[in-house]
Structure 1
Amino acid sequence: MCEMKKIYKFCIGALLGTITVSCVDQLDSDKNFKDRMTLEDVFTNEKYSEEWLAHAYSYLKGENMDVGTKDNILWCFADDIYFGDRDIYNTFKTGTYSEGDRQSWGASYKGIRQASIFIQNIDMNMEFTEAERADLKAQARFVRAYYYWLLLRKYGPVPLLPEEGLDYTASYDDLACQRNSYDECVEYIESEMRLAAKDLPLDRGANHTSRPTRGAALAARAKVLLYAASPINNPRPEDTERFTDLVDHDGRCLLAQEYNEYKWAKAAAAARDVMELPGSNYGHRYVLHTVKKRDEAAAGYPKTLPPYSDNDFENADWPNGYRDIDPFESYRQVFNGALSMFDNPELIFSRGQNQGDRNLADMVLHQLPTSANGWNTHGMTQKMCDAYYMYNGSEFNRQTFLDTCQVENRFVSEKEGKAGTYPYLKKGVWKEYAWREPRFYASVAFNGCVWPLLNNSTLKDPKPVEQQVFYYRGNGNGYTNSNFWLRTGIGIMKFVHPDDTSAAKGNKDYVKLKTEPAIRFAEILLIYAEALNELEDGSSYDIPSWDGSASYSVKRDINEMKKGIRPVRCRAGVPDYTLPEYQDRNVFRKKLKHERQIELMGEGHRYFDLRR
């Protein structure tokens, strides 16, 4: 940073906590002079140093959340989710937004500045051991690189600030920084994440799970390299859409214009680095979360529906098959608060509960129906609903349903509902929702679905549990004259725990706390498969591991691609892809994009996947 030697203590208070002073104190210039604190004061004190780093973390909230609510992220502008509350989408459609809406530019650079000062000065703090200083510096390095990643993903190429910072007393012209190119940003972030990984531990205790680990740094690196390899910055010769007009002040194009296959190989190797981290989960640090199958039903917890007989996964127990697991509950628990961050074996990075006011519990309030005192405004699009596979792994086709099901039989009858003819479906439900894959029932609040609402029985004024909810016009949960109705007519069940309900509008006391899934292992597996698929047959690259301790031979190997796809499909309770689907690069690419759409629904990926 510039030669800034004095920092006012009231600034430190604004950054690290609140200092209360009287009016007389504020007018006492001598006292204010004495209250000045130097960087040396901060970085020779254990408590102040920790607080400085905590403030660097603090800008990861709000608009910088990976998974959030209508007020801070871009879900309304993809094709999977629609927030009806406050008509956020229409604000942008009609151009009534301001430059401050959803912008995270300023917060990100404040976080970068805070982390940079920490990195520059923490080594003077002898109250920490050498190992502790190395860990703390690596955390700050991760946070700084992660802010740059969030900026790059959202804004494209951004300025990379000097390591020593900027002299704020300089002229505007001297302070002005041109954008770096996309590849320069990626190279910097990738290098910083590798450097951070060297001093970050593989695991942290239960009290420090929101701090990054080695896996978090390497996983973020894999995400960055995937984006760098994608068409937005790596167009193939046949790609017609190129950002040739995105140039800097000197006319230099900021996004790559020439295709480079090696970028895909680097992304695959980076994902492999995460997959190869050692641990106690079948020899690896990360594994997809699974739950053993349930033989008896209970309120909010249906009996396990045996997955499709595919003569493959059905013949083996997890991790080689789905014979002994409950795919529905396995997937549902990853998001709904049933697991702490420490107990979730596939969670790689998360802000934990450090989400601010607009946390995932607040998001669930916007998903809950009106009859459960929810805001009832968080809807799923028909396109997203239709994307989920059928029970046997085939794609849903509405026309096939209409052609094969007579009009008079298209809704579940009372007899069929009582008999459980269609698992998860009760009387009056449209039968196109029958026999869908387990992730569908864990994610989609279709018209006529059952909301468990088990905490209703513990309210001061108890209400019924396991409520069947319809969204028909005029119904209490359907269209009304207020804003609190689903614009799409389809709700979202993902992130909702069976216990979740609300005692009154805006009350989160009966909603389980949720851990934000910023990066999880399923995403890394899909990155690995996607990157390998893009390599030409016959191409092969020898790429060293992140620390140089090993080397990977990276090529389009179907057996390696299966390592990325099969665990995700198996945990989901759907059959693997067919051999022809693996063999055809274009077909596999479409399947992979479809898999990401389903597996990562509601986790902040779709908006960017459609654009990269």
Structure 2
Amino acid sequence: MKKYITFILLAIAAMPFLYSCSNYLDKEPDDMLTLSGVFSDATNTKNWLAGVYDAIPDPLWDYLSYSYGYYLMSDESQINSELGQFGWNGLLNVQQGSWSPVQMVPSFDLWGSTYQKVRAALLFLENVKAIPEQRQTAELVERYKNEARFLMAYYYERMLEVYGPFPLVTTLASSTASPADLQLPRTPYDDIVTYLDKELLDLSKVLPASYDDTDVGRATSGMCLAIRARMLMFAASPLFNGNADYADVANKDGKPLFNSTYDVTKWKKAADAAKLVIDMPQYKLYTEKNDDGSIDALMSCTDVHLKGVQQNPEIIFVYPKLTNYYYEYHVLPRGSGFAGCVGTTQNMVDAFFMSNGKSITDDGSGYVATGFSASDNYYNTKYNYGDVNRTTGLVTRAGTFNMYVNREPRFYVNIRYSGQYCSFDDNGRDVDFKKNGLDGAPSHDSPYAGYQINKAINPSDHSGQAFQYRPGIILRLAEMYLDYAEALNECDPGNADIAKYVNLIRERAGLPDLDAGLSQTQMRDAIRHERQVEFALEGGTRYMDIRRWKIAEDVFKKPIQGMNTQGSTPSDYFKVVDIQTRNFQKKMYLWPIYQNYMDNNANLVQNKYW
């Protein structure tokens, strides 16, 4: 292992330090506790560590909103341009390619915020100590240290996904270091992966497998291995494995930052990493059963996003603090007292399979894109939120636009469409996204493409009442299943496990197995399609996937589409129209380093094309 650069406090002295969980860190310098004072008190010590945890994003609201905007940077979400005045303008600009190191979206500064938390973690590691008289034992301190190390690795993994190489900082150094010592170059991508691979694997051997209810969200062995698997999938994928575009990217001393030679063994390592998580006994796919013993696909795919850790063995990594429901407020209909302004797209709607498992473009799919259904449609499910009478099994009623009839269960889990019954009002009602409808245009608090997001929304939530708890899932076992299948298809095509693990996901969704005998290319396409649907509108997965597969430029050759939300009658509204043309440029596969950091560090090199 190469000697990694060290880090001193002055290196990030210009960065703002925001530790919202630790009130004492918000005090003025002359009133601030000394480090000795902080780490001589068990409560302050615990609060400091809470401050390191504080940068874990809410995978629903943060990734949907202008904080990160991963949903809106993919083809699965869109908003009205009028929302720019409320903080969304930066994301709208990014969609059009209007993005630069100087004119960045402020919330996208993962570079600076990551080093803030790294600094806090390193200070913690250097200063935390046992305080037996306050029940802070040596054993507990060791666990705390391992948690801090995990958080550093996790934050670095997130940074690696969007920036590629960065200066890898692992220790604190003397404050007497010269200014020249602070000019840190970027560490090569593969070196960072090697370091984090070992660090996460080592931590998986010493962190607990689980905690009691009061400590849900703390670092576990499974979280370490799952984040490791996610990182190795990125490292094996086309963006970072054999990408000739970055062959000439080097530090100022000529040291290459990317290895442009394709290496199939990276896929093997990613497959093995995912399988290691799959084989952990505490995790399994969440399912619910019908009375006849069959899988209730609609309830399984609904409740996997609503059940907490103690009821849901699929959850590996969960957002530790759920203190707001901004997500619900922004995706539920305006006519029920919410904002209802962030929705999904026709592009996403069209990706869902039919109930027979076929794509809407396949022969024999049964897909109909015009007209309205003549009868009610029932599934084998205990779901009973399809009408005001709470009729069990009723999924779509007579009069539903045919495009939405006979779709797979995950469609109804994820998508809210005009004419669908919703129970968020006192008496329940049909949502209406037509122009001048209760939930539609011309208000900017309406879904721009005519669809709202339904994922992770409890159907029993009610306007004017407190929202029911739902977990913010950062990583679940289904990702490991599809990671394993994808990686195995690249390094060992034809292996029986490939179809096995894809089909387990499809079975839970109520779909038949994939056709037998698929070629490697056909299986690759099938896995990518399955990921798009299984992780629709979830944690920014789609945005990350189209980047790591290096297909984003092709994805955005197709315009963003939706219903004609300027139509005030059913015949005018229920038409697919182009609503936006995106401008994804090659440079956008990696984010730019903010110019302020470039100006303050003569050894930094900017990402290519910026």
Shorter-chain TM-score category? 0.7 to 0.9
Report deviation, 1:43.
3.0
Retained in 2: the 8 A contact 1:347–1:517?
yes
Report deviation, 1:172.
4.0
Larger CA Rg, structure 1 vs 2:
1
Retained in 2: the 8 A contact 1:146–1:220?
yes
Report deviation, 1:401.
7.9
Letter matched to residue 588 of structure 1: M
In structure 2, how many angstroms separate the alpha carbons of the residues matched to 1:485 and 1:274?
41
1:18-417 aligned at under 5 Å gives the runs: 18=24, 32=30, 37-61=33-57, 67-84=63-80, 86-87=83-84, 88=88, 89-92=91-94, 93=96, 95=98, 98-123=104-129, 125=131, 128-165=136-173, 167=175, 170-235=177-242, 242-277=245-280, 284-293=281-290, 323-335=293-305, 337=306, 339-354=307-322, 359=324, 361-397=325-361, 410-413=371-374
In structure 2, how many angstroms separate the alpha carbons of the residues matched to 1:452 and 1:166?
61
- Structure 1 166/524 Cα, relative in aligned 2: closer, same or farther at 3 Å? farther
Letter matched to residue 331 of structure 1: C
Letter matched to residue 108 of structure 1: T
> SS at 2:316's partner residue?
strand
Alignment size in residue pairs: 514
Letter matched to residue 472 of structure 1: K
In structure 2, how many angstroms separate the alpha carbons of the residues matched to 1:416 and 1:521?
31
1:477 alignment counterpart: 439
Report deviation, 1:585.
0.8
Q: Deviations over 1:205-233 (max 9, x none)?
A: 11111101110111000000110000111
Report deviation, 1:330.
0.7
Q: Deviations over 1:480-508 (max 9, x none)?
A: 1x3112111122211111122333xxxxx
Question: Is 2:376 the partner of 1:438?
Answer: no
Retained in 2: the 8 A contact 1:365–1:502?
no
> SS at 2:357's partner residue?
coil
Report deviation, 1:62.
7.0
In structure 1, how many angstroms separate the alpha carbons of the residues matched to 2:179 and 2:211?
44
- Structure 1 478/576 Cα, relative in aligned 2: closer, same or farther at 3 Å? same
Report deviation, 1:123.
4.7
- Structure 1 2/430 Cα, relative in aligned 2: closer, same or farther at 3 Å? closer
Query: Which of these residues, 408, 426, 440, is aligned with residue 397 of structure 2?
Result: 426
In structure 1, how many angstroms separate the alpha carbons of the residues matched to 2:458 and 2:19?
38
Q: Deviations over 1:250-295 (max 9, x none)?
A: 2333222001111111111111111122xxxxxx210111112269
Retained in 2: the 8 A contact 1:423–1:435?
no
Retained in 1: the 8 A contact 2:8–2:182?
no
Q: Deviations over 1:371-404 (max 9, x none)?
A: 21121212111111011011111111299789x8
> SS at 1:146's partner residue?
helix
- Structure 1 45/563 Cα, relative in aligned 2: closer, same or farther at 3 Å? farther
Letter matched to residue 253 of structure 2: D
> SS at 1:566's partner residue?
helix
Question: Is 2:514 the partner of 1:577?
Answer: yes
- Structure 1 444/181 Cα, relative in aligned 2: closer, same or farther at 3 Å? same
In structure 2, how many angstroms separate the alpha carbons of the residues matched to 1:56 and 1:391?
45
Answer with 44-53 or 569-578: which moved more: 44-53
2:487 alignment counterpart: 531
- Structure 1 13/76 Cα, relative in aligned 2: closer, same or farther at 3 Å? closer
In structure 2, how many angstroms separate the alpha carbons of the residues matched to 1:95 and 1:406?
35
**CA root-mean-square deviation:** 3.3
Letter matched to residue 566 of structure 1: N
Letter matched to residue 254 of structure 1: L
Answer with 220-229 or 247-256: which moved more: 247-256
In structure 2, how many angstroms separate the alpha carbons of the residues matched to 1:141 and 1:445?
41
1:548 alignment counterpart: none
Report deviation, 1:41.
3.7
TM-score by length of 1: 0.77
Report deviation, 1:64.
11
Q: Deviations over 1:184-209 (max 9, x none)?
A: 11112111111221211111111111
Question: Is 2:455 the partner of 1:518?
Answer: no
1:545 alignment counterpart: none
In structure 1, how many angstroms separate the alpha carbons of the residues matched to 2:531 and 2:55?
28
Letter matched to residue 332 of structure 1: T
Letter matched to residue 255 of structure 2: R
Which runs of 5 or more residues in structure 2 are unaligned? 1-6, 379-386, 549-610
In structure 2, how many angstroms separate the alpha carbons of the residues matched to 1:102 and 1:423?
43
